[in-house]
Amino acid sequence: MSIAYIKSRGLEIFSGGLDLKSAGPSAPEERAAAPPAREKGESGDRTQVPERAWLILSVSIMISAAILRFFDPSLKPLHHDEGVNGLFLMRLFREGVYRYDPSNYHGPTLYYFTLAPALLLGLNTVAIRAATALFGVATVWLLLRLRRYVGSPGALAASALVAFSPGAVYYSRYFIHETLFVFFTLGLVVALLGFYDSGRALHLMLASISAALLFTTKETAIVSLAVLGVALVCTRIYFRIRMALREDEAGRSGPSEKEPGERTWARAGARRSATLLLIALELFALVFVLFYSSFLTNLKGVTDALKAFEFWARTGTENHVREWYIYLWWLAQEEACVLALGALGGVISLWRGGNRFALFVALWAFGLLAAYSLIPYKTPWLAVNFIIPMAIAGGYAVSAIYEKSRLIAVAILCAAVAVSAYQTIRLNFFHYDDDRYIYPYAHTDRELLSMVDEIERRARAEGAGLDTQIAILSPDYWPLPWYLRNYSAVGYFGGVKQASEAIVIASDAQEPELQAALGDRYRLIGAYALRPGVTLLLYIRNDLTDRSF
């Protein structure tokens, strides 16, 4: 990017000269002012995708993302954690009560944002997963909004990679906090970019809200924010060095260019900047307090939220401890295309030094990977956090290749999307509970749904329907409370007892004790795998069995 252009279009510096001509319709005046010359080696025409092609491709990607995320969301049984989250939602939906508990669970946004789908579709599995699916699709949409910063081919590639990413799809069809968390992280980045670009207060407020929602979604917000900050600082340092070197080469001297952020603040004026910052902070506090205090019904939740970091610092070193390289290994197996293209994008951005945003994203992606690798606690859903920036970096790589050879870039992207699509479909619609894959992490076996159907059939035949008495003796039973949520007489005993209920559910490990407790009053209907290592046994009282069947 020429120095002259930097001077005249300081706020555009993040775009790095890529695809400014095809900038979104929101900035027609910027398009008009775009310089005829581009950065050395980057011809303007070569970075463009025709407008019609952009429209068709972006709509196709959105539709594909929506189909993959919304198709039969109840196909996969709920994971243990989804069941727990479902219980919180159930209480909030039915009684309007939610109390934040820092010791065990994440923030409240998931439950509040799922209220609308639950109201629209009913309190069922489709609705709760529709909420996360919606955020998953919205993430793909946000990626398309990065067109100004990574170019049209880059934005299309990044969104396609995420739309078809096995992990992104899997956890968009999963009622946990991760998809929301990832959306708010990206939302924060996109809003800040918008603010850097336009200096509009609205963008700063959106960034503030995104940051607040990030913190009210999950405690790991601190990790993401730290990595984003480090990535930003490193990007600035790197570009200062590059600029200084260029100036030395050119034999120039004089005051160095201001950073884009500095220019935005300078243009805004000190008083306005301070006011904006203050309002943004207040907005952050407001959203934070509203959610954690359950909309001012539980003020203790706000102080509890601050304690959460303490709990999670402990959990992060005790549970789910894995080798430091496990994320790389997992990514290599399930997200090879995103990983490879992301790494390539990082290298290109470092080498060319022409696009601050691309470098920032690469640092964000691999910085986050490094951070989560350093933390002993490792679960596959955390990988979604770095899949998104990796996909953006990958998009930048595709965009850079596109400048040199459209054919190669399209071929690479098509191959990557084809591989990802195959993996996604195989995982999400066929092997969603197969623990040989990475993402189904101690996942509930599909046999559980057969057991739930059987219970429903027996309860209906028995005549009591939803009032049928059910005793759960197994200590492992999640996500059964979700599936049995409409039954009014379900007892969770966590151990064997003398039962008289119509239906008894125990685990195979309890079989010897069961014999004594149930005697010949009950009949075994079937054994159903709950998850690897746990099998549930379904018993029904003999008189009911005889009467109904």
Partner 1 sequence: MLLALALALNAIVGGTLSTYLYDERSSPAARVCAGACLGLTVLGIAGFFLAAAIGFTQGSLFLAAAVTVSPLALLLGRSYRERARADALKALNSVRRLGAQPTRRDVIYFTFYASVSVALYMLFDRAMFERDGEIFTGVANNYGDLPFHISIVTRFVYGQNFPPEAPMYAGAGFTYPFLPDFITAMLVLAGASLERAIFIQSFIVGIALVGLLHNWALALTRDRLAALITPILVLLSGGLGWLLLLKEAHATELGVLPMLTQLIRDYTIRPGTSWRWGNIITSLLIPQHSILLGLPLALVVFTLWWQALGEKWGGDSPKDERAGAVSMRPMIAAGAIAGMLPLVHAHTFAVVLAMALCLALLFRGWRAWAAFFGLALVISAPQLFYVMQGSQIDSRSFFGWHVGWDRGGENLFLFWLKNTGLFIPLLCAALFRKSGERVAGRKLLLFYLPFLLCFVIPNLVKLAPWIWDNIKVIIYWYVASAPLVALLLARLWRRGGWLRRIAVLLLVSMTLSGSLDVWRVLSRVPESMIFDREGIEFAEVIRAVAPPRALILHAPIHNHPAQLSGARSLMGYPGHIWTHGIDYRDRAADVRRIYNGEPGAEELLAYYRVEYIVLSPLEAAEMPVRESFFERFTKVGEAGEYRLYKIAGP
Q: How far is CA 57 from the centre of its chain?
A: 23
121 versus 290: smaller Cβ distance to partner 1 = 121
**Which residue lies nearer to partner 1 by CB, 202 or 245?**
202
Instruction: List alpha helices for 145-259, DSSP H.
Output: 147-163, 166-172, 178-198, 201-217, 221-250
In whole angstroms, give the CA distance from residue 14 to residue 262: 13
Shortest Cβ 115–partner 1 spacing (Å): 9
CA atoms within 13 A on the CB side of 482: 26
Query: Which amino acid is it at 395?
Result: G
Least separation in angstroms between CB 200 and partner 1: 12
β-sheet bridge partners, residue 305: none
Nearer to partner 1, 8 or 26 (CB): 26
Q: Which stretch binds partner 1 (CB under 8 A): 32-40, 115-123, 350-358, 467-475?
A: 115-123
Find tokens 């999307």 and name the residue.
417
Question: Does residue 124 touch partner 1 according to CB under 8 A?
Answer: yes
Figure out which of the listed residues 45, 95, 120, 512 binds partner 1, where binding follows CB under 8 A. 120
Q: Give least dist CB 397 to partner 1, A.
A: 36
Side chain identity, residue 85 = N
Contacts of 233 (CB under 8 A, 6+ apart): none
* Candidates 120-128, 161-169, 235-243, 390-398; binding stretch for partner 1 (CB under 8 A): 120-128
**Which residue, among 342, 333, 323, has the nearest Cα to 439 in the 3D structure?**
333
* Whether the Cβ atoms of residue 392 and residue 361 lie closer than 8 Å to each other: yes
Which residues lie across from 504 on neighbouring strands?
471, 539
Q: Shortest gap between Cβ of 122 and partner 1 (angstroms)? A: 3
Which of 53, 97, 119, 313 binds partner 1 (CB under 8 A)? It is 119
Q: Which stretch binds partner 1 (CB under 8 A): 20-28, 112-120, 348-356, 507-515?
A: 112-120
Given the rule CB under 8 A, which of 27-35, 117-125, 303-311, 334-342 is the region that contacts partner 1?
A: 117-125
- Give the H or E element holding residue 264: helix 260-268
131 three-state secondary structure: helix
Output the smallest distance, CB 185 to partner 1, in A: 26
Which residue, 127 or 188, has its beta carbon nearer to partner 1? 127
Measured from the CB atom, the residue of 80 and 485 that comes closer to partner 1 is 485
Stretch that binds partner 1, among 16-24, 119-127, 224-232, 439-447 (CB under 8 A): 119-127
| In the complex, least distance from residue 187 CB atom to partner 1, rounded to whole angstroms | 19
Stretch that binds partner 1, among 73-81, 122-130, 187-195, 207-215 (CB under 8 A): 122-130
| Neighbouring residues of 180: CB distance < 8 A, sequence distance ≥ 6 | 109, 110, 113, 132, 135, 213, 217
Least Å distance, CB 26 to partner 1, is 12
Residues 143/162, Cβ–Cβ less than 8 Å: yes
The residues in 462-491 that bind partner 1, with binding defined as CB under 8 A, are 486
What is the arrangement of strands in the sheet containing 469-472, beginning at the earlier edge strand? 489-492, 469-472, 503-507, 534-541, 522-531
Question: Nearer to partner 1 by C-beta: 3 or 202?
Answer: 202
In the bound state with partner 1, the residue whose beta carbon lies nearer, of 127 and 398, is: 127
User: Stretches 114-122, 270-278, 301-309, 443-451: which one binds partner 1 (CB under 8 A)?
Assistant: 114-122
Q: Label the pairing between strands 534-541 and 503-507.
A: antiparallel
Helix (H, G, I), strand (E, B) or coil at 99: coil
Nearer to partner 1, 11 or 121 (CB): 121
Q: Does 56 bind partner 1 (CB under 8 A)?
A: no
Supply the minimum distance, in Å, between the C-beta of residue 318 and partner 1: 38
Q: What is the DSSP letter of 321?
A: B
Contact 327, 383 (CB under 8 A): yes
Q: Which residue, 116 or 418, is less far from partner 1 as judged by CB?
A: 116
Tell me how far, at minimum, the Cβ of 119 lies from partner 1, in Å.
Answer: 6
How many positions of this chain bind partner 1 (CB under 8 A)?
11
Residues 88-107 that bind partner 1 (CB under 8 A): 93-94
Instruction: For residues 233 and 252, give the distance between their C-alpha atoms in angstroms, rounded to a whole number.
Output: 25
> Per CB under 8 A, does 121 bind partner 1?
yes
**Distance separating alpha carbons of residues 434 and 448, to the nearest angstrom:** 14
Instruction: Using DSSP, state whether 378 is helix, strand or coil.
Output: coil
204 belongs to the binding site for partner 1 (CB under 8 A)? no
- Residue 74 interacts with partner 1 (CB under 8 A)? no
Contacts of 534 (CB under 8 A, 6+ apart): 474, 476, 507, 508, 509
Tokens 């555009």 locate to 12
Using CB under 8 A as the binding rule, whether residue 495 contacts partner 1 is answered as: no
- The interface with partner 1 within residues 208-247 (CB under 8 A) comprises none
Paired strand residues for 531: 534
CB of 145 to partner 1, least distance (A): 18
Q: Which of 18, 57, 127, 421 binds partner 1 (CB under 8 A)?
A: 127
Going by C-alpha positions, the residue among 256, 273, 194, 237 that lies closest to residue 15 is 194
CB environment 354-374: b (16+ within 10 A), e (fewer): bbbbbbbbbbbbbbbbebbbe
Instruction: Report the distance separating Cα 104 and Cα 80, nearest Å.
Output: 14
- Which of residues 1, 68, 84, 118 is near partner 1 by CB under 8 A? 118
Q: Identify which of residues 3 and 119 has a Cβ nearer to partner 1 in the complex.
A: 119
Cβ neighbours of 517 (radius 10 Å) = 17
Taking the complex as a whole, the smallest distance from the CB of residue 94 to partner 1 amounts, in Å, to 8
Q: Which residues, including other chains, have CB under 8 Å from residue 466's CB and lie 6 or more apart?
A: 459, 486, 487, 488
Q: Does 123 bind partner 1 (CB under 8 A)?
A: yes
Which CB sits closer to partner 1, 74 or 124? 124
d(CA 172, CA 154): 23
Min CB(98)–partner 1 separation in Å: 15
The residue ranges that bind partner 1 (CB under 8 A) are: 93-94, 118-124, 127, 486
